[in-house]
């Protein structure tokens, strides 16, 4: 696998907010490890923590293992979907903090060969867990027009979703839609000419919606957030970095719905409004420009029951 330079998004903010004053030791879960940038920063700053790093892509785990080798047994690497792994862990231990960085890595766009970038002539795969589940091509070739419209609208808030879906159905009658560039061209030619040369390519949100559908991303986020309440111990923190409004709304709603102080356990919301990257970070790391960070701290009442921290 080709090494790709990975710069962790909002590194400074994660370092200052993820670990609370009462939890500077113990176990931390990096639920979306990627190339290991955030874990590296946390292990360096907090010498008394251990980390469980989770990723669905074994290739990314390989990059992270190389990067974090010097930390030895302070980090364990787990291959799998983060919501599945969190389910298993929730019956075994409690943790000081959980970090979820929901962004797709630079590697996937630049070097994976799986069709994440609309500008590359690559197979339309888009699976973050290679070899598991349905591909983007299979969705495009098998779903009805109504189902495609729903995917584009619900997961990408795509303008002209119906027009684009009609064009895809028409195209596939005689030709498979095999590559990312083929799909981008179909979308480009589907939308009215005056919308083809805007600030972003007209296929951007179509690609987003397909990736979310292929990897079941929003449902996984919902499940992982719910599991955080059974994993975190008293004053443990959950931090989520999202990259589009659909994800951010889910995180905002979850923290708010679980912030009632009359409950046996509740989230104290640390970031009343989401934090966003500084101008300097955006300049030095353009993919960070759409990031939003929300952090909340779990508080237990006196008779709340939790597992012993390990």
Q: Please tell me whether residues 156 and 193 are part of one structural domain.
A: yes
Q: Please tell me whether residues 120 and 168 are part of one structural domain.
A: yes
pTM of the model: 0.91
More confident residue, 257 or 104: 257
Q: Judge whether residue 251 has pLDDT over 90.
A: yes
The verdict on residue 209 lying in a domain is yes
The verdict on residue 248 lying in a domain is yes
Q: What is the pLDDT of residue 117?
A: 87
Among residues 149, 181, 215, the one where a domain terminates is: 215
Q: Please tell me whether residues 201 and 76 are part of one structural domain.
A: no
Q: Judge whether residue 292 has pLDDT over 90.
A: yes
Among residues 215, 239, 274, the one where a domain terminates is: 215
To the nearest whole percent, how much of the chain has pLDDT over 90?
Answer: 76
Q: Please tell me whether residues 203 and 116 are part of one structural domain.
A: yes
More confident residue, 26 or 40: 40
The verdict on residue 2 lying in a domain is no
Over residues 101-136, the pLDDT tens digits come to: 998 877 777 778 888 888 888 999 999 999 899 999
Q: Please tell me whether residues 230 and 189 are part of one structural domain.
A: no
Tokens in use for 271?
A: 């970031």
For the domain that residue 88 is a member of, what is the CATH number?
A: 3.40.50.150
Q: Please tell me whether residues 24 and 100 are part of one structural domain.
A: yes
82 is in an annotated binding site: yes
For the domain that residue 153 is a member of, what is the CATH number?
A: 1.10.150.170
Q: Mean of the pLDDT values across residues 205-233?
A: 96
Count CB atoms within 10 A of the CB of residue 66. Answer: 12
Q: Please tell me whether residues 209 and 162 are part of one structural domain.
A: yes
Q: Mean of the pLDDT values across residues 226-242?
A: 95
Q: What is the pLDDT of residue 192?
A: 86
Query: 133: left (phi > 0), else alpha (psi -120 to 50), else beta?
Result: left
Over residues 260-281, the pLDDT tens digits come to: 999 999 999 999 999 999 999 9
Q: Please tell me whether residues 80 and 144 are part of one structural domain.
A: no
Q: What is the pLDDT of residue 310?
A: 39
Q: What is the pLDDT of residue 87?
A: 96
Q: Mean of the pLDDT values across residues 62-77?
A: 96
Mean pLDDT (the chain) is 91
Q: Please tell me whether residues 294 and 231 are part of one structural domain.
A: yes
Q: What is the pLDDT of residue 101?
A: 96
In the chain, the number of structural domains is 2
Q: What is the pLDDT of residue 308?
A: 41
101 is in an annotated binding site: yes
Q: What is the pLDDT of residue 111?
A: 75
Q: Please tell me whether residues 101 and 223 are part of one structural domain.
A: yes
36 is in an annotated binding site: yes
Contacts 24+ apart (CB under 8 A), 112-117: 112/59, 115/179, 115/180, 116/180, 116/207, 116/211, 117/180
108 is in an annotated binding site: yes
Q: Please tell me whether residues 204 and 144 are part of one structural domain.
A: yes
Over residues 137-185, the pLDDT tens digits come to: 999 999 999 999 999 999 999 999 999 999 999 999 998 999 999 999 9
**CB 277 within 8 Å of CB 271:** no
55 is in an annotated binding site: yes
Q: Please tell me whether residues 100 and 233 are part of one structural domain.
A: yes
Domain of 28, in residue numbers: 11-107+218-300
The verdict on residue 307 lying in a domain is no
The verdict on residue 6 lying in a domain is no
Among residues 168, 184, 215, the one where a domain terminates is: 215
């Amino acid at each position: 696998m080709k090494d790709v330079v990975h710069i962790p998004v909002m590194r400074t903010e994660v370092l200052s907010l993820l670990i609370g004053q009462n939890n500077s030791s113990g176990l931390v879960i990096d639920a979306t490890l990627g190339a290991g940038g955030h874990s590296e920063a946390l292990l360096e700053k907090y010498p008394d923590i251990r980390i469980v790093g989770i990723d669905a892509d074994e290739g990314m785990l390989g990059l992270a293992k190389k990067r974090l080798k010097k930390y030895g047994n302070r980090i364990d690497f787990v291959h799998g979907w983060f919501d599945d792994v969190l389910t298993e862990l929730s019956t075994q231990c409690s943790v000081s903090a959980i970090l979820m960085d929901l962004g797709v890595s630079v590697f996937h766009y630049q070097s994976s060969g799986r069709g994440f970038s609309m500008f590359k002539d690559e197979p339309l795969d888009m699976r973050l867990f290679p070899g598991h589940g349905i591909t983007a091509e299979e969705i495009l070739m098998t779903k009805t027009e109504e189902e495609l419209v729903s995917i584009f609208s619900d997961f990408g808030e795509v303008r002209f979703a119906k027009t684009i879906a009609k064009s895809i159905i028409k195209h596939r009658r005689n030709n498979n839609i095999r590559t990312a560039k083929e799909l981008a061209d179909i979308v480009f030619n589907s939308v009215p000419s005056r919308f083809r040369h805007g600030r972003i390519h007209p296929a951007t949100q179509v690609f987003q919606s397909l990736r979310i559908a292929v990897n079941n991303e929003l449902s996984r986020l919902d499940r992982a957030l719910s599991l955080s309440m059974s994993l975190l111990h008293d004053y443990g923190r959950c931090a989520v970095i999202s990259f589009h409004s659909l994800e951010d709304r889910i995180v905002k709603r979850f923290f708010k719905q679980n912030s009632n102080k009359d409950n046996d356990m509740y989230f104290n919301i640390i970031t009343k409004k989401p934090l966003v990257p500084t101008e300097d970070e955006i300049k030095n790391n353009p993919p960070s420009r759409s990031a939003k960070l929300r952090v909340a701290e779990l508080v237990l009442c006196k008779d709340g029951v939790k597992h012993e921290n390990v």
